[in-house]
A and B are shown apart, each in its own frame.
Chain A
Amino acid sequence: MNGREAGPGPFARTAPGTAPGPPPVLEITDLRVTYEPGVRAVRGLDFSVGPGEVLGVVGESGSGKSAAALAAVGLLPPGARAEGSVRLRGRELLGRPDAELSRVRGKDLAMVFQDPLSALTPVHTVGDQIAETIRVHAGATRAAARARAVELLDLVGIPDAARRARAYPHEFSGGMRQRVMIAMAIANDPVAIIADEPTTALDVTIQAQVLEVLRVAKETTGAAIVLIAHDLGVVAGFADRVMVMYAGRAVESGPVGEVYARPRMPYTIGLLKSLPRVAGPRVRPVPVEGAPPPATAPDDGCAFAPRCPIAEPRCRDAVPPPVPVGPGHLAACVRADATEGRAEIFPVPVPPPAPRRPPRDERPVVLEVDGLVRHHPIYGGTFLKRRAGTVRAVDGIAFDVREGETLGVVGESGCGKTTALMEILRLAAPQEGAVTVFGQDTAALTAARRKALRRDLQVVFQDPFASLDPRMRVASILAEPLAAHGVPRARRRERVRELLDLVGLDPVYAGRYPHGLSGGQRQRVGIARALALEPRLLLLDEPVAALDVSVQAGIMNLLADLQTRLGLAYLLVAHDLAVVRQVADRVAVMYQGRLVELGAADALYAAPAHPYTRALLDAVPSPDPARERRRRVPPLPGDPPDPAAPPEGCRFRPRCPRYAALDGDRRRLCETTDPEPHRPARDADRRVACHHPGER
């Protein structure tokens, strides 16, 4: 227990330099959460939030942020123990019986969960569920509660609230469900709302909408809000103060402007530097090497020291106490003086020199997709199965990838990008259209040719936890493609070593099982497996979406380096425009199974021609509080339409801000004709599927 700082609340609002405000609404002092003996998720956490204040709590997976939230509302799983103090308006909540807590929970203290589908009961209508929380706590009559539920649904922006109140949770989209959760949270005018990663499962345009709803909720109830997130981008525009957590402790806290502009704890600096950005010049993100310590690690010194580039021997002596480094700004770092005014403490990785390549037109095409279609039939009927409809997952897309370049395919979930990737990977005749890989039409391949072609075309999957067989050692996983193609055993062993070296893993990992590796290490194994057969084209399916931000940068840099060293071509599928920007030479944007825009990355990011591309770019949260605060309106209203019944004409029309601003005559074109990708006048390399491209 060495290094535990004495006294209550070093991170509380009474920090030196803060003006004494109103008494805090929610005050947490020295909170400790233990799951089982030795597994300590939260190791002494202090914070407080005042009325109408928003505290952003940022931490990567395993930092203890969710455990702290669950402890605060008394919803820890059985077996977990919370110590310390959680006070709501001065009343202690910790240690009170569950029945007593239930009267506070949902009334004064509300919670919004990450997954709104599992947080709502599937067998009751959402109106009834909201009405129930009102009736339980306020004792209102059934009719009054119901009327209030409709009012609340209207407030959180659910169109046609009176009718939608009678719908069941599964009839709502993810974003709409999260709105319902927020409506339920504010139903009883809570004094504090804890939102645990409320937007993590959502697309960027929906994320912006939900954050806007939270803002409305705050303004109507005046509640204090604790917004938990896993990266610094999301909270930048909404939070008043931010607290960064690492290994169960707060390592830095302060007003948003201060922390983002002058971060002092090396971990915060690393988080900010590793975050990919869409605005400004294209810079290489700086990774934070290593992985956070497990929850079982002992308290010997600063938990971040093993990953810290400026760590000194004294960092490992004791857990550093938070020290004031600015107005209301605390950092738990003994070297806080060394980080003042210089953010370049992390070594900027030097990319290998780019080889001289002939211009794009002269390089061979490695992958050509023309009019690719993938429709999934929907069957209905009780006795006889009849075809009830068609999901147009991929509906006629065309692009090509040339040697040594990266094409990024971007779109929100359900736009068909992964389906398109899988169609290419099958190396079989598509339903319609043609896929040509290294000059060979996949429709005309024999089984032997197809297998031979697989050497040149490999894939890296999204989730490194799912894509490695848990029963095989790393060496066997890497050797498998080699064995499948008849590489002799001695050569296989040699190649496994080469591959580990290529992706920056120590040879000892060959003998490990996947569950003994961190997420970043697993994804490196996944990349090494894809490289085993020396392919010329890699298909990357959201290669960093399942990883923590500080680790993402390392993987993206690795992919970029491998490309320059090995001359690979990439087809990179991702939902995150910022991630794509780091490696893509060209970008294709998909919406509802169609390609809406395609062009050279720099030009496309600088001047998007399609309104959807513009909206996607605008929706990416940036770790720049000033910029985020200027943006008041979410970039895109509404949800993507039902893929089984796309709207007539342009599929983007119902959400399109440009269409909304058009006059009747020009609207007609959007309403009647589905735009085909065409070349705009100014940019020969661009394709835009919009009748009115380029206008703001």
Chain B
Amino acid sequence: MTAVVRALGRNRRATAGAVLLALLFALAFAGPAVSPWGWEDTDFTAFRRPPSADHWFGTTQSGRDVFALTLRGMQKSLVIGLLVAVLSTGLAALVGMVSGFVGGWTDRMLMWGVDLLLVLPAFLVVAVLSPLLRDGRPLVLVAVLSAFLWMVTARVVRAMTISLKEREYVLAARFTGASTPRVLARHILPHLASLLAVDASLNVSVAVIAESGLSYFGFGVRPPDTSLGTVIADGGSAATAYPWLAGFAAGLLVLIVLAVNLLGDGLRDALDPTSGRAR
């Protein structure tokens, strides 16, 4: 494990990703302190103004400061996005690996569960569960979002596991008497790392966008509070005429995804000695 951490430290892309992510967190949580405007404040002298010295990211049509709003949204979205990505990808890896490796009835039951969740309309389930979500506790939101993001990846992981488990080095490990968790952790998981890293970084953006969709329906983060997804959704419709409304938020979202992606790539390289040395 320490070897992986050290390899990560040597990997330039991983380092860049980690630094970028740390900067984004710093911006989201320390940024409001330097902003002249609070996220709830309204400037009645400036409606839908482009960025200026006064309002760095401009203002909305109700006169709220886009910089303050975006940072407030980022606080929520960073936490939600990262947690959802880790949880859903982790669940996908766990279910997929166990299903593919153990096989038999375990496999069939797990895949029935996956198919069931895939065909259930997510929003319908969320609507049924809405009393639970009304108060907008972020952890419940994270759980719900994760629950609907892992199934497709789990199926891919399962398929890859089935082909990996016939590899001779996996057989060799099993024939030495290594336990199933040990084989999964040492021989299967490292080979799925690149897939999972890509999946996790995609899930960050999907979670941020999906959360805004939920708030639109009255769940999740609700007005007047805001999230990155909400800022993008609200400003997106007028993006051509007033690009500052959503542009900065979208740009930050891209940066978040990029940071996670670099970190994921770095993790993959750290786990794979055959991929080229850190560049």
Question: Are B178's CB and A471's CB within 8 A?
Answer: no
Chain B contacts for A461, CB-based, 8 A: 168, 171-172
- Give the residues in chain A near B274, CB-CB below 8 Å: 470-471, 513, 515
Question: What 1/0 flags go to B118-141 for Cβ under 8 Å of A?
Answer: 000000000000000000000000
Structural contact, B273 and A467, CB atoms closer than 8 A:
no
Given A471-B273, A471-B274, A513-B273, residue A481 in contact with residue B168 (CB < 8 A): no
Q: Size of chain B's interface in residues, with CB distance under 8 A?
A: 20
The residue among B178, B191, B271 with the most chain A CB atoms within 10 A of its own CB is B178
Complex: A485 Cα to B179 Cα, angstroms = 10
Q: A466 contacts B177, CB within 8 Å?
A: no
For A463, give its contact among B168, B173, B177, B272 (CB under 8 Å).
B168
Which of A470, A480, A513 touches B176 (beta carbons < 8 Å)? A480
- The total of Cβ contacts below 8 Å across the A-B interface reads 66
* Residue A529 lies at the interface, judged by CB distance under 8 Å to chain B: yes
Q: Kindly identify which residue among A454, A462, A471 contacts B175, using a CB–CB cutoff of 8 Å.
A: A454
Give the bracket for the number of chain A residues in contact with chain B: 20 to 34
Assess the A455–B177 pair: CB atoms within 8 A: yes
Do A471 and B168 contact each other (CB < 8 Å), given the known contacts A480-B178, A484-B182?
Answer: no
> Which single member of B171, B173, B182, B191 contacts A471 (CB below 8 Å)?
B191
Which one of B177, B271, B272 has the greatest number of beta carbons of chain A within 10 Å? B177
Residues of B within 8 A of A470 (CB): 272-274
Residue A76 is within 8 A (CB to CB) of chain B in the complex = no
Which chain A residues border B172 with CB–CB below 8 Å?
A: 459, 461, 467, 526, 529
B191 to chain A, nearest CB (A): 7
Does B76 lie at the interface of the complex (its beta carbon under 8 Å from any beta carbon of A)?
no
What string of 1s and 0s marks CB contacts (under 8 Å) between B171-206 and chain A?
A: 111011111001000110011000000000000000
Asked if B108 CB lies within 8 Å of chain A CBs, one says no
**CB under 8 Å from chain A, chain B span 139-179:** 167-169, 171-173, 175-179
- Nearest Cβ on chain A to B169's Cβ, whole angstroms: 4
Any B CB within 8 A of the CB of A425? yes
Task: Select A467's contact among B169, B186, B271, B272, beta carbons within 8 Å.
Answer: B169
Asked if residues A481 and B169 are in contact (CB atoms below 8 Å), the reply is no
A563 CB, nearest partner CB in chain B, Å: 20
Please, how many angstroms separate the alpha-carbon atoms of A440 and B179 in the complex?
21
Task: Report how far A469 CA is from B177 CA in the complex, Å.
Answer: 16
Given contacts A468-B169, A471-B191, whether A480 and B186 have CB atoms under 8 Å apart is: yes
Q: How far is the CA of A513 from the CA of B273 in the complex (A)?
A: 7
Q: How far is the CA of A461 from the CA of B167 in the complex (A)?
A: 11
Give Cα distance in the complex from A455 to B176, angstroms.
7
| Per-position 1/0 for B233-273, Cβ under 8 A of A | 00000000000000000000000000000000000000111
Q: Are B168 and A466 closer than 8 Å at their CB atoms?
A: yes
Chain B 190-226 residues near chain A, CB threshold 8 A:
190-191
Residue of B with least CB distance to A473? B273
Q: Are B169 and A466 in contact (CB under 8 A)?
A: yes
- Contact among A425, A454, A469 for B169, CB-based, below 8 A: A469
Among the listed B167, B171, B173, B272, which residue makes an inter-chain contact with A480, where contact means beta carbons less than 8 Å apart? Answer: B173
A: which residues have CB within 8 A of B? 425, 451, 454-455, 458-459, 461-463, 466-473, 480-481, 483-485, 513, 515, 526, 529, 532-533
Name the 5 nearest CB pairs between A and B, nearest first: A481-B176, A467-B168, A454-B177, A484-B178, A469-B169
Question: What would 11 A/B residue contacts be, using CB atoms closer than 8 Å?
Answer: A455-B177, A466-B167, A467-B171, A469-B169, A469-B173, A470-B272, A480-B173, A480-B186, A483-B178, A485-B177, A533-B177
